[in-house]
Structure formats: structure tokens, C-alpha cells
Structure 1
Amino acid sequence: MKKRMVHSLEKISLVLVLLLTVCAAPLSAQTTTTIRGTVTDLQQKTPMPFVNVFIPGTTIGTRTDENGRFSLQFTGTYDSLHVASLGYRTFKVKIRNGTTQVLDVGMETTSRMLGEVVVKGAKRERYRNKNNPAVELIRLVIENRDKNRIEHYDYVQYNQYEKLEFALSNLSEKFKNSRLVRRYQFLFENRDTTKVEGKSLLPIYLEEKSSDVYYRKDPEKRKEIIQGEKKVSFEDYIDNQGMSAYLNHIYQDFNIYDNNLMLFTNQFLSPISNAAPTFYKFFITDTITTGSGDRLVEMEFVPRNTTDLLLSGKLYITLDGNYAVERADMTGNKATNINWVRNFRALQEFRKAADGRFYTSKTTLMADFSFFARNRGGLYGERTVSVKDFVENQPKPDAFYEGDAVVKADSAEQVKERFWTNNRHDTLTTAESKVYANIDSLQKMKSFRRTMDIITLLMAGYKGFGPIEVGPVNTFYSFNPVEGFRLRLGGRTTPKFNKSIYLESYGAYGFKDKKWKYYFGGTYSFTHRSIWEFPVRALSANYQRDMKIPGQELQFIQEDNFLLSFKRGTNDKWLYNDIYNVSYLHEFLNHTSFKVGFKNWAQRPAGGLGYVKGGSVDSVREVTTSELSLELRWAPHEQFYQGKLYRIPIPNKYPIITLRGIAGVKGFFGSQYNYQSLTLNIYKMMYLSPIGYSEVVLEGGYTFGKVPFPLLTIHRANQTYAYQLQSYNLMNFLEFVSDHYASVNIDHHFNGFIFNKIPLLKKLKLREVAAGKILFGGLRDENRPENDPTLFKFPVDTSGVRSTYTLGRTPYIEGSIGIANIFKLVRVDLVKRFTYLDNPNVAEWGIRTRVRLDF
């Protein structure tokens, strides 16, 4: 269901576009002044983690680590450095610009500790949950968690502003003056040197959204009305809407009141989850009285095991009986195994509502991505979601909540700058405000368009020529035992040709079988947008004369992709096909869809495959069928990245359920058989923090009627060297057929849960994976060729040994263990086949690889 190789290449293409072709050049940090040191509590003589170290009046700053150490580098001339923490006197020191300063800072407390907490000397006692006031307080927070969630209110409404931005960080002067970017100097004039500690940021992407949000508890419904939306566009080269969806997937919403927080596609256990006292250590460090008179407890938390996918940071908890979190400041520890992410910080702030409870007022997620060595530049990203005009328990009529959960106002993308001036919760920086115009100017430059055409050709496989595109290049050359050397050339139209009509065609020639293959197709989009842009309403018709392997239906890759030419074992059983297809796809905004279709298929055996009836030696030259089909699909909250070849779903925690029904009609356009089939497929991403996540696929099917083996379910096998999620990686092509079956595939990613505890593997950031696949199936007596001479005999190999079988009481089972994240992209699995080892030409063991970009 999910072919990840193309998915990964599309993600890599996205990163390349964001880097605007500059990633290949050396990058280096710019520093003129260095200040480093250690911060301790003056009385306790113990290190103070998470203390703010900053230059006042600027955004240059950092925080101490878990051992109280800090290091700050910056350019420019400044007077003083401040070290501050709630409940302590601010420490100030004069800066010696252009030098390296080493400081030992002792912080003096200004607040009283909780009366119940006894502060002992420097001797460190063994940490225990029992009789620990910090753990007792956290348990009170957990017990009161539900009443402090927004779902506790019957009705809520508020205005929400979102801002997502990305910037290239620390571009060296050498690169800035290089010939590669000499024509783009106007971009470098927009660098921001004040936003992040000692970094020079060059904004390249910005998007904003202003919405009115309404929530109803019973029956539960959330409705969002987008009033304004604005974003940097790369529409000529990539799917701008899909890129926005993917970036927001990386920087998706999180809530500390959930048991798990999704950060950068990884799931972190919340410090106030039910299991938090088992995985975290908690320490009460201070009590604070705010300006409004509220008393807060400052609490630090750290992982018990620093190698687990857990957070560190501070919580500020109210003592008004609600035991609510007023502020959360969180980061990943240095041992956390997250790809590309140097460091990150997650902030969540809460404000008191009219009824005395707290609601989320602001959420910020910041990350520094590194694509090179640690001392080089990379990519900085930040997403902020803020709330104002919060009103509780003012109901709307029931009719208001009907319809789609997210509605965009007709004028949302055409609002004027005055709208943003009035509706931004924070003003943009000077550099942020210029990014829209700068990127627009960049895309009008011929040199940039030429560079992006080359990148699009390499990564997506297509080269544009005005209203048409030629490609994909990975299918221009391939080979197989029947065709031998195969050449192919194809292309299709783009929206520049027509926004409603899309045409596609290719021609191919096999030098061994000396046959031409070709395809002609067209699609009409009733939405007058791209045929992949959600929601789709499109009518398609096509004709194809080509070859395929029986039972192979590849979803996210071309079947004549050059890389798939390399296969293990015998691969001589093929089909020549003449296929007419007509289909209509209709998607709804609630992410349900239906697809109706008609398919007329004439298939002829090729290579070592023959259609021979059981009662004679006469072979059947051709089988013709006509099928009517209906597919229903439900994928709640699904998002996509639209590539040049496919629209690729972005996985989330919700299931994807697909039900497909097919009816073959005898006598209709020459069809030779009556039959019906039903197939149900359920895909679910299951998060099991802190031990990773599993991709689970359940599938079952039933074929009604008496049919020869080409019309049965031919189970998806894989004789390539690539690891495939929904195929059986040690099953041979056409090895098993069934008229009823059920299967379960589980692919689990441990995210370094085990390897992080092994020093060398931890340093390499390798990750462990494991998978299991079980297939139950069978064949009714009426469809067994030994029981009916009118049915085709099962295929045999060149020695006359039978090569196609049915499943008995024993299921087909295979499993694998592997190492992922090799070079941050490659996964290698050792696959073992456990059953049906006596079948001829089977492999009990195999090594498979997979390319996938993960965080």
C-alpha cells in the first residue's frame, strides 16, 4: 500500500527545493565573541539546568544544559550578558567583545521553597518515587488533567494565528561570494542575525493562517473557519499545497495534556502522561508568585534513561486546586536519536480563563536542522500557534457545526495586507516581511528556473517543455527476460495546456520480442484543478498495450522502473495485455471517496507462462474479461504530498480503510467469465511510545464463482532486492493463488530504543526494525484444476515441476529484522521465510534494502 522509495525521493526533492540549491556548498558558523561557563545555585552548590543566558534587548541567547553548562557565540558589539531564572536574582556581567570569556555564575534565590519540601545538603540521595513530593504533585496534575483540557468546556471559541517559517542558517561569506549564487545577492541582504543565538538566518519559506475556531463538547465537533491564508509559493516546481501539508506534519500540533506528543514525526511521552512517573525523574526547584498573585511550582523533569525518546525541561504548575500547567518548556536530550535535528525546543503557554481554569494561549516549536557536520550550517524552522479572544460556553446553533470541519472563506487567499496587520498576533520581523517578495523575484530569474528544472528532472523524473512534460526518466531504459533490452519514451500535458484536460502517452519497444507497447490516456477534472489536488472529481479513460508480471500491482512506482529490472531467481512468467479502462473518482471534504470503473482486459501468456486446460494439451491463447468495479475509501484527516507521478499520503495516527468490489460479466465486450470479488484493506500507524511505532496492514478478500487461476487472487510477491511493506519479500512471483484469504503485516520501528543503549550504535544513530507477515488462504474445490478439466493447469517451470500452489492449513509466514537509518536514509533487512520451504526454487533467507527519509 505504501511504496516508500518514491515517497522518500519526493521528500528529498522537497528538502532540496527548500535549500534553494545551496546545500552543496560548504557552510560555516560565524562567531566573533564566545562566552561559556557554568551556572550553579549559590546555596546548594548544585548545577542549574535550563537557565536563560541572553543579551538583553536582542534575541541572542541560550540555556544551560542538564549539567548547568552553557556556551554562547555571536557577532556584533554588546554591553552586557544576563543570566536569569524564575525565583533567582538576575546575574549581569560586562561583555569583553571579540574575546573568549569563561564564567562561573552563582545564582541567589529570591523566593521561598514549599513549606513541605526539606532541602538537604549536597549529598545526593537515590531517586525514588515513594514519598517524593515532586512525584506526588505530578500525580495530582495527572489526576486533574481532564478538567484542564479544552474538552472540559461545553462550548469554546477563539481566534487562532499560525506562522510557519524556515530559514537557511549560517551561510559562509565564501559561499555568499561564490559564482554559484552571485546573481542572487539580493537574498543575502535579508539575513536576520538577531532571531537565534549567534546564527545568521536567511528566510526562504513563510506561511501564515488566521482562523476562527469553534468547539462543541456534546456531540463533539471542532469547526475551523480560515479567514486568511498566505504562503511562499514554489508551485511551478513542486506541489505547494502538499509541501505545506508535509511541513505542518513535521511541525504538527502538540498538547502536553496528551499522553504522547508528536514532534518531528516521532512520538515523545508527555511528562504528565499516565506513565510519566515510570520514565521521568521530577524535582521541585522553586515556588513563584506571579504578578497576578498566582502561586506556581517550578518543576524540572529529566528522563530516567537518557537514551529513550523522552523530553527534558521545566513545568510551572498552579497551586489553586486545579493543578494545571501554566507553562511548559521542553527539549530533547542530546542522546535522543532524531535525524537531522541538532536541537529543538517546544514551548507551551497557558492563560487563565474567566472561570479560573487555564487554556493554551501559545505553542511554539523551534528546531535547528543539520544536513552536514555539526559545526556547519543547516536549516532553522519554527512554528508558532497563538490564541486570543478566548470565550467559553457561548453556544452556537446546531446547524452551525454541520458540514466540513475546516472551511476556507472564499477570499482567504486574496486578503490584503491590512488584514494581516490587524490579525497577526505578533508582527513579522523585517527579514520575515521581505521573504514573500524575495522568493517571488527569485522565481522570475531565468538562471533559477533553469536550476530548478534540472533538480526536478533528477528527483521527479520529468522535464518540462511549456505545456508538456517528458518522462519519467527512470523508465527510459529497462530490461526483462521476455523483452530483453527495452526503451521507452513518454510524456504528458501540464496545467499550462489546459486546467481541466490532462493527456498522457508513452511508447516502448522490446528488442528481444520485437514488439511495440504503448499507452494513451486522458482525464477530465471537474474541479478545473490538478487531477491530484484534493478533493478530486475526475473522469479518466485510457488504453494500454504492454507487459506485466501476473499479480503485481505497484502503487507508488512504475513497473518498468530501471531499478526493478534486477530480480532474483527465475522471472520468466509474464503477460501481454490489452486493457481499456474508464473510471470516475469523487472525493469528499470529509476524506471519504468512491471510485467506479469499467475495465476490459485481454491477457495473453508470455515467456515461460502458458494457459493449458487440464483435460488436454491444447493451450489457450487469450483470456478476456470485462469488469465493473466500485471502491469506497475512508481516510480521516488524511494529508498528501503531490508528486509528479503519484499523490502520496502523509501517514498519521488515523486508519485508512479501503473496500473494493469487482464484478466480471460474461458476454459483455467479449468477457468469458462471470465472477465477483470483495477486498478489504485496513492500514494503521500505531504509536507505542517510547518503543517506537508500527505500520500495520490487515487485508482480506473473497472471490465468488468458478474461474481459472489468472483470475484468482495472485498474492503479491517480491523478487527484487528492495524491501516492500505489503509484498512477501521471499515469495516467488505467481507462487500462491487463492479465492479466499486473510493477512496481517506488521512493520515495527524501534527508533533506537535498543541501539541507543549501545555506545557505538548510539553514536552512529542506527535504528532497529522488525517485521512479520502472515498470510492465510485457500482454494475451494470448484476452482482446483485437478477437480475440473475445463480450468487451466497450474504453471510449471522449464523442468516440468509445478511452480504455483495453494495455501493449506499452514499459513505463509516470513519475518525480518533489520538496521535502519544507515547514512540517515538506508534500511537493510535480513528476511527469513518460515513455511512452505519445500516448494521449488524458494529462498529461506534474503537481504533486502529500502530507502526512506525519516526524522
Structure 2
Amino acid sequence: MRSSFFYCCLCFLFIYTCVTVSPVWAQTVVQGKIVSKETKQPIAGATVSAVGSKQATSANQLGEFRLPVDTSCKELEIRAMGHKTLRTPIPANREAMTIQLSPNAETIEEISINHRNKEKYSNKNNPAVELIDLVIRHKSKNRLSGKDSLSFEQYDKLKFGFIDPKISKRKGMLGLNFIFQNVDSVSYPDKKLLSLYLEESNAKVYGKKNPSKFKKVVYSNRKTEFDKRYINNPNIQQFMNFIFQQVDVYDESIFLLNRQFLSPIADNGKIFYKYYIQDTIFNEEGYFIRLNFQPRNKTDLLFKGTLEISMDGSYAVKKASLRVDKESNLNWVKDGEIGFHYLKNKDGVMLLDSTRTFMVFSVRKGETIFADRISINSNYDLQSEFPKGVFEGAPIEYATNADQAQPRRPIPLNNAEQMTYTNTERLNNNPTFKTLLAVGYLVSQGYYSLGAFELGPLEYVYSRNNIEGNRFRLGGRTTQALTDKAFVEGYVAYGMDDARVKYFLRTAVSLNGESIVTFPAHYIEGSIQNDIMEPGQQIGFLKGDSFFRSIRKNRPTKWFDTRAYQVQHVYEFGNHISITTGLTHAERQTIGDLRLISSGNPDQLLTDIVSNEAHIDLRWAPFEKFFYRNLTRKTVIEKHPVFNLVYTKSLSGFWNTTYNYDKISLSASKRLFLNQLGYADVRVVGGKIWGTLPYTMLELPNVKQKDDRHRIDFDMMNPMEFVADEYVKLGFTHQMQGFLFNKIPLIKKLNLREIWGAQMFYGKLSDRNNPYLSDDVVHFDTNSDGEILTHVLQTEPYWEGTVGIDNILRVLRVEYVKRFNYKTLPNVPKDRFRLSINISF
């Protein structure tokens, strides 16, 4: 028995010895010192790795290292920031090595971790700034858009709701108690989240560098949806994805909350940020330096946080944490952070692995709202060819069955997140919640929903003008509850002074079996209108006669009694080119004190004008996105331009056409994002009119037209004040987002924002249309004092400018508007102040 026990012990000892000792028998130790070939100084932190294995170490402050390696290993690789990577054979005698590294052209003199409070900050001789320079120099290679070609899978989750909601203890609570059973205490440390909106999607993303192209195909999309009568769910989706866009730390500016925050690795980042080396990191992924950054001015739209930078020669970002400073010139933002995480692929390329944006908004004392977005990228492919035709169509496309497909989740939803979908359905069936939605919709949108039809808008119910006196109007439109493949809107109006009924009706029908509003659309529409309208005004549901317009000083006083008919065909292509063709018939009669006296015969009065026009409108809006409101939509203003080319031809001899003419106009609009200087909107419109026409059919720049992307308002110009048949208009508005006020002590605490802009009109009137030179047109009309109301521009263009302060008490905007020239004309406004409500982040 004893011998058996002794035999077992010997066997156990032998096995243990083989397992634990034999690897040591196959290893040896390599040691030495790493110095600069140029200065002979030790290089602290240099990475020493055995080629062909995972064994690695780093040099200490004296440049010394000690690395156990397998006896089969024959070569070492040494890397150090600012030096060329070196491979050197391991000496056979295993003596201590002295390895000299050559500096490269991108050398950082030294690395030191300073306590920034102890010394004055300077960019000069600052190793942190030198490191940022290297990151900036290499970012074109490291960013995703810098890859020759790539594709990857993307999972995206976006949610918002309340933080630490106050749960009412009152019984009943109007039947909404169940909401508070859905509190999430897992997703974010020390916070309880009550989600009211949740959206998930899976997509395949493709990118190409030369030529630059991008495509995202969403094949799975699930989101909470509220009552369609009051809330356009695609609009919520578009709005949330707009203000919380997917971003990259390598972007010059990071778009957040409709604002541009300068990236800490932007080309001009050193002007706005301070940088400090915080720590060095050695792990199985390599050698990294953790760098801290903070804004020089905390009120500017800048971040504070940390970067982890790879020191393998690529100077790629491994991790980034970007926090919104509480003192930033933002409204209602209590806290915010964007986190980026990158992973190396098998070829050593750092690729974006995940992004998380978490924002906290303070609505009022004790109530906060959160927004949380997580994006996870996987299955990167930098080698394979793209599928044929993958970049055709819109940059972002949804598969036909995306709403029915179940999301593929790399991270599962917790119980509270799962219940968000169920609770939304219960909310939609709750009577109290329905009432809240109806009231909110009336106040915010101006419409009262009746289900398949809604009444409004509220601001057009009452207005006043010199012809109708008090005007009352009842209007409305159909909704998606009836159908989204057809649309009807209209109004009936009555003026107390002229005792006449006016009306408008427009209908549109889809031709492709899809929604008439969802891009790309294809539909035909027809309109009929009988109403009083300003000279030069186009047919439309909202023609500018709202309550607010009727109380302005320079409101219109000259009118046509107009009967108009229009039919249009709209065809939109997936590349955001659209073609609109149409025919318009209009009969106009002068009413009130509008007088059109022949320039060739003072006894002849023109009272009727009949026109028949055919037009074609070519529109190109690359990468255009939309906000939806029931069966209407509005362009999301981003950096991409919008162009329109419109040609109009008079159908001479058809349906009692009075005049023969041709018109052409070209319009362009673009928003310029200027980093820390905010953003500017530029609009340019030019055109020419051929034919001999009364001035009311020429270009009248201050006539209220439809609300389009290219509209330019001249606040200091009277209606019909100038006329031209060859013209150019320019509008420029710059919102500086507090760039100047942020630099003024005490003032910067008010979060005020600067606004300035200018509008220009320049036009010529040909001799054939000038009543002072031609007998074939009509004289310009006069006011009650006999003063001429309409004028021809001289050699200089008309100018007016605006300067103002925005974000007063977070909601008010005050502007001073001044007219710069043509101030000697009769009864023209010189300047004025205007006050408006403007709510933004």
C-alpha cells in the first residue's frame, strides 16, 4: 500500500515538473538597452517584441529591457514613438544588447506627464501637441472614409425618455401608471431610465474612396410608433437621427444637436484646445498614450475628455471619450458624452468598433430627459469587390420588408427595453394620452385632427387687409388615416367688406402605388383657386395672408381678383434629381385701387390679364433628407446644396392668352458649416424674362411666394417697390452661435448668440418693358397721395442688412434691420427692430 502511494506521488511530481518546468527549459532571456542613434539618450517606453510570437515588453525610464523568449526566436522588433521601427537579430551569445533607433521625420522630442495646474500651458515644446500633430497628419489614412474600399455590418439602437422619473403614488394616475413599471436600472450606472422611444436597425454599409461614394442599405428596422393622427413617426425617426447623427472622431467637426463641435483632432484643434499627456499604456494590443484635452474657452462648442493613441507608427485613435462641457453655449443640456472604440483587424488596421452618445437634458427643475445612441460595427471587409450597382439610388435605402424583419442584436435588449414596444401600444389606446396628443398637435402644428381629415392651420383662421377687411377662413386637409397615396387640401374664406367667398382646392394622386410624400415620389396633382392675390403671387394653399402678416407695416395693398387652374406631374429619381412639369391658367382682374394705365394711351385702362403657361422644373438636391408632417414634407437643411432650374413658356393663342413670353430662373442654396464660427445660409436666385409685359408679370422681388428652400425675404422693401425682367437676388444669413459673446466675461454666462446677414437685389428693366420708354406696357401705379409705388433700379443694387442677438432667455431673438440705399424713395421704411420666438438647443 505504501509503495503504491509512493509510486503515485512520483508520477504526479513528474507530470507537474513537465508541465511547469519544461517551457523554461525552452526559453532564454534577452536583455539590453535602447537609445537614440542621434542623441545616445535612452528611449523610455519603447516596445520590444519577439518576432513570430506574442512575447513583448517595454523599456523602463533608463531604456533598459528584459524579455524572456523562446530559443527558436531569432529576431526582435523595436518600436518607439518618433523613431523608425527596427528589426534586429538576437545575438547568439545572449549578451546584453545596445540597440540604437533612428529618428524619423515625425519626431516628438520627449514625453512627460505634467500637472497642468503647476505651470502655464504652451503649445511650444509640448509633447502632447507634437503627438496631436502626428495624429492629424495620419488621420486621412486612419478614418473609415480614407479606406480605398470597405464594407461592414452596422447595428444601431436609439432611445430617449426620462431619467429618474418621479413616480406618482396617487392611485389611477389617469391610467398611465403602467409606464413607470418600465424603468431601466441596468443600461447606465446610477441612473434609472424610462424609455419612451426606441429604434433598432441593421444595415450593410459600403464605402469607397476614389471616387468618394457611400451607401447604407437598412434591411431591418424596428421602432416604437405613436398614434399616426397626431404624430408622424417617420418625422420622429428623421429628427432623432438628424440631431444625433452617426459621427467619427476623425471628422473635422462633430455634428450634435444641430450644432458643430470641433473635434479634438481637427486640423486647427490646437487653436481651441489644450493637450496634456496623461499616461502610457502597455497591453496585449500594443503601446498607447492616453492624452487629455480640454477647451481653452469652456463656453465655445468644444469637448473635454481623453484620447488613447496607438504608438505603432499609425498614430491611430484607439479610444476616445468626448464630454460636453456644462458651460458650453447650449440650451437645456445638462450633460453629454460621446465614446468611440476602435479595434485592430488582422492586418493591424484600426477600425471603428462602436460609438455611444449619451445626452442629458434638463427640462425644468427635477425633470431630465435622456437620449442614448449605440452603434456597433462588425464584419469589416476591406478586400472584396462591391456588388454590381450597389451605389445606385439614394445613399440610404430601406429594404421593402425592413419593418417586418427582426433585428439582429449583438447586444440583447434588457427587460425594460423590450417592454418599451409593448407600452407604446398601450399608450396609443389610452384616452388621456390621446387627449394630450390632440392638444399638443393643435398648439404646435396649428391643426385639429378629425381622423381622416384635419382642420387648420390655426394662424390663417383670421386675417385682415384693405380689400376684405376682416377675413375668416376655414381650411383643412386629408391625412394618412384616409390614405397616403392621395391627398386633398383646401379652404373656404369670406371677407366682411367685399362680402365674397373665396376658395382653394388641391389634390394629388400617386402614380407608382407608393406614398405621394415618401421619397422618391411619383404623382400628378391639380389645383384650383379663386381668391384675391398680390401681383406676381403664385397659386397656393398658404399664400402669406396669415394673421401675423396682416399686422405688419409693409403689408400689401394692391390686389388682383384671381381665378387660376394648375395641373402638375412630379417624378423623383433615386439620385435626388426630380422633374416637375405643369400647365397653369390664370385670369386676373384689377380690384380696389390697383390701376394699370396704358403707357401709350392714358385713357386706356388694363383691367384683365389672362395667361397660360407651360413650365418644367429640374431640381437636384444631393443627399437630401426630409422632415415629414402628415402628407407634407420639408427639406432637412444640411451641408449639401439644392439647385433648381425652371423654364416657363407662354402658350400664345391658347385659351385667350393675353401675352407671349418666356421665363427662365436658376436658384441655388447651401448651408456652410464654419466650425467654431457657426453656420451660414447662402441663397442665390437669378432669372430673365423675354417678352413685352405689364410690370405685374415681371419680377417683383418682395412678393410673398411659396415656402421653398430658395426664398429670400426683403423686410425693408415695400410690395411691388422694384421691378425687373433680368435680375439676381442674394440672401446671406450667418448664425455665429456665440463665438464673440463667449469671449466676454459675465456676458458669456447668458449664452447669447450673434446673428447677421444681408439681402441684395439687382435687376435691369429692358426698354420694351419700361413705361417711360415704351408705349406698349402700363404705367407704374401710385398711392393715395399720387406717389409712384414701383421703381426701376439705378446702377447700384438694393441692399439691406440685419444684425441681432439670439437666445435671449433661451427663447427670444431681437434683430435690427436696416435699409442701406434707395432711402429717398417715398414712404419706404429705413430701419426697424423685430422680435421673434426662436427655440433651439
Does TM, normalized by the shorter one, top 0.5? yes
- Checking the alignment, whether the CA contact within 8 Å between 1:342 and 1:369 is kept in structure 2 is yes
How many residue pairs are counted as aligned between the two chains? 728
Aligned twin of 1:206: 198
Rounded to whole Å, the distance in 2 between the matches of 1:147 and 1:218 is: 13
TM-superposition CA deviations, 1:438-474 (whole Å, max 9, x none): 1011102233223322222222222232432222222
**Correspondence for 1:778:** 764
Deviations 1:590-630 (A, max 9, x none): 22211111100111222332121112232222101001111
Of 802, 820, 828, the match for 2:788: 802
Letter of the 2:784 partner, please give it.
T
- Residue 626 of structure 1 corresponds to 612
Percent identity between the aligned chains? 34
Mapped partners of 1:169, 1:790: distance in 2 = 72
Q: Secondary structure at the match of 1:322?
A: coil
Q: Does 1:273 align with 2:266?
A: yes
Compare 814-823 and 759-768 and name the one that shifted more: 759-768
Aligned to 2:603: 617
Q: 2:470 aligns with which of 474, 485, 492?
A: 485
Query: What is the aligned partner in structure 2 of residue 390 from structure 1?
Result: 380
Residue 353 (structure 1) aligned with residue 345 (structure 2): yes
Give the direction of change, closer, same or farther, for the CA distance of 1:725–1:507 in structure 2 (3 Å limit): closer
- SS for the counterpart of 1:769 is strand
Distance of 2:505 and 2:539 partners within structure 1: 19
Task: State the Cα deviation string for residues 790-816 of structure 1 (Å, max 9, x = none).
Answer: 211111111111110111211101111
SS at match of 1:714: coil
CA distance in 1 between counterparts of 2:745 and 2:325 reads: 16
Match of 1:143 in 2: 137
Name the counterpart of 1:405. 395
Aligned pair in 2 of structure 1 residues 544, 364: CA closer, same or farther (>3 Å)? same
Q: After superposition, where does 1:164-243 map in structure 2 within 5 Å?
A: 164-174=158-168, 177=170, 181-234=173-226, 235-243=228-236
Change in CA separation of 1:646 and 1:501 when aligned onto 2, cut-off 3 Å? closer
Distance, in Å, in 2 between the alignment partners of 1:277 and 1:214 is: 33
Tell whether the 8 Å contact from 2:229 to 2:451 is kept in structure 1 after alignment.
Answer: no
CA distance in 2, matches of 1:456, 1:511: 30
Greater shift, 304-313 or 684-693, is seen at 304-313
Q: Which runs of 5+ in 1 are unaligned?
A: 1-113
Matches within 5 A, 1:415-564: 415-416=405-406, 420=407, 423-552=408-537, 558-564=543-549
Indicate which of 599, 610, 627 corresponds to 1:641.
Answer: 627
SS of the aligned residue for 2:354 comes to: strand
Asked if the contact 1:153–1:393 (Cα under 8 Å) also holds between the matched residues in 2, the reply is no
> Contact 2:299 / 2:742 at 8 angstroms: preserved in 1?
yes
Letter in 2 for 1:309: L
Instruction: Between 612-621 and 547-556, report the one with greater CA deviation.
Output: 547-556
1:332 pairs with 307, 316, 324, which one?
324
The structure, 1 or 2, with the larger RCO (C-alpha pairs under 8 Å, 6+ apart) is 1
Q: Secondary structure at the match of 1:670?
A: coil
Q: Is the 8 A contact 1:718 1:728 kept in 2?
A: no
The residue type equivalent to 1:259 in the other structure is E
Which stretch has the larger CA shift, 706-715 or 214-223?
214-223
Residues 190 and 457 of structure 1: CA distance in aligned 2, closer, same or farther (over 3 Å): same
Question: What secondary structure is seen at the aligned counterpart in 2 of 1:454?
Answer: helix
In structure 2, give the amino acid aligned to 1:135. V
Q: Of residues 286, 290, 297 in structure 2, which corresponds to 1:305?
A: 297
Residue 67 of structure 2 is matched in structure 1 by none
Kept in 2: contact 1:782–1:788 (CA 8 A): yes
Structure 1's 527 and 850: CA in aligned 2 closer, same or farther, altered over 3 A? Answer: farther
CA contact (8 A) 2:534 2:703 kept: no
Within 1, Cα distance between the matches of 2:647 and 2:242?
Answer: 33
CA distance in 1 between counterparts of 2:401 and 2:115 reads 64
Q: Aligned residue for 1:816?
A: 802
1:130 counterpart (124, 131, 134): 124
Find 1:656's aligned residue among 626, 637, 642: 642
1:708 and 1:547 map into 2 onto residues whose CA distance is 19
Residue 366 (structure 1) aligned with residue 351 (structure 2): no
CA distance in 1, matches of 2:326, 2:605: 67
Look up the match of 2:244: 251
> Cα 1:170–1:326, aligned 2, differ >3 Å: closer, same or farther?
same
Question: Against the structure 1 CA distance between its residues 158 and 479, is the aligned structure 2 distance closer, same or farther, given a 3 Å change threshold?
Answer: same
CA distance in 2, matches of 1:598, 1:115: 73
- Alpha-carbon distance between aligned partners in 1 of 2:155 and 2:801, rounded to the nearest angstrom: 47
TM-score by length of structure 1 reads 0.82
Residues in 2 aligned to 1:493 and 1:555: alpha-carbon distance in whole angstroms: 16
Q: 1:701 and 2:687 equivalent?
A: yes
Alignment CA distance shift 1:121-1:443 (3 Å) = closer
Q: Distance in 1 between matches of 2:805 and 2:390?
A: 51
Q: Is the 8 A contact 2:503 2:530 kept in 1?
A: yes
**Which has the larger Rg?**
2
TM-score by length of 2: 0.83
Does the C-alpha gap of structure 1 residues 333 and 207 become closer, same or farther in structure 2, counting only changes over 3 Å?
same
- Alignment of 1:749 onto 2:743: no
1:162 corresponds, among 132, 156, 159, to 156
Distance 1:381 1:479 in 2: 44
Which residue of 1 is the match for residue 369 of structure 2? 379
Further displaced range: 491-500 or 148-157: 491-500
Query: Is contact 1:443–1:449 with CA below 8 Å preserved after alignment?
Result: yes
Shift in alpha-carbon separation, 1:225–1:725, aligned structure 2, 3 A:
closer
Q: Distance in 1 between matches of 2:308 and 2:541?
A: 47
Answering whether residue 325 of structure 2 is matched by residue 322 of structure 1, we say: no
SS at match of 2:597: coil
Which secondary structure state, in structure 1, belongs to the residue aligned with residue 760 of structure 2?
Answer: strand
**What secondary structure does 1:186 align onto?**
helix
Please say if residues 129 and 270 of structure 2, whose CA atoms lie closer than 8 Å, have aligned partners that are also in contact. yes
Q: What is the one-letter code of the residue matched to 1:681?
A: S
Query: Are 1:764 and 2:750 matched, yes or no?
Result: yes
Deviation track 1:13-70 (CA, whole Å, cap 9, x = no partner) reads: xxxxxxxxxxxxxxxxxxxxxxxxxxxxxxxxxxxxxxxxxxxxxxxxxxxxxxxxxx
**Equivalents in 2 of 1:150, 1:498: separation in Å?**
42
Query: SS of the residue aligned with 2:434?
Result: helix
> Which secondary structure state, in structure 1, belongs to the residue aligned with residue 183 of structure 2?
coil
1:262 aligns with 2:255: yes
Partner of 1:38: none
Q: Is the 8 A contact 2:343 2:353 kept in 1?
A: yes
Contact 2:620 2:643 in 1 (8 A): yes
The residue aligned with 2:837 is: 851
Cα distance between partner residues in 2 of 1:845 and 1:528:
52
Distance 2:401 2:704 in 1: 50
Tell me, what secondary structure is at the counterpart of 1:247?
Answer: helix
1:279-334 CA-partner distances (Å, limit 9, x unpaired) = 211100100012x2411000001112222221111000000000000011001222
Task: Work out the CA distance in 1 between the residues paired with 2:237 and 2:321.
Answer: 26
CA deviations 1:748-768 (Å, max 9, x no partner) are 011011122334432322211
Structure 2 CA distance for partners of 1:338 and 1:797, relative to 1, 3 Å: same
CA distances 1:719-775 after superposition (whole Å, capped 9, x unpaired): 9xxxx9711110001101111111221100110111223344323222111111122
Query: Which residue of the partner structure matches residue 59 of structure 2?
Result: none
Q: Secondary structure at the match of 2:136?
A: helix
719, 734, 738: which is aligned to 2:724?
A: 738
Secondary structure class of the residue paired with 2:364: coil
Cα distance, 1:389 vs structure 2: 1.2
Distance 1:850 1:676, change over 3 A: farther
Q: Structure 2 stretches of 5 or more lacking a match?
A: 1-107
Distance across 2 between alignment mates of 1:403 and 1:519: 36
Distance 1:505-1:746 versus aligned 2 partners, 3 A rule: closer
Of residues 492-501 and 141-150 in structure 1, the stretch that sits farther from structure 2 once superposed is 492-501
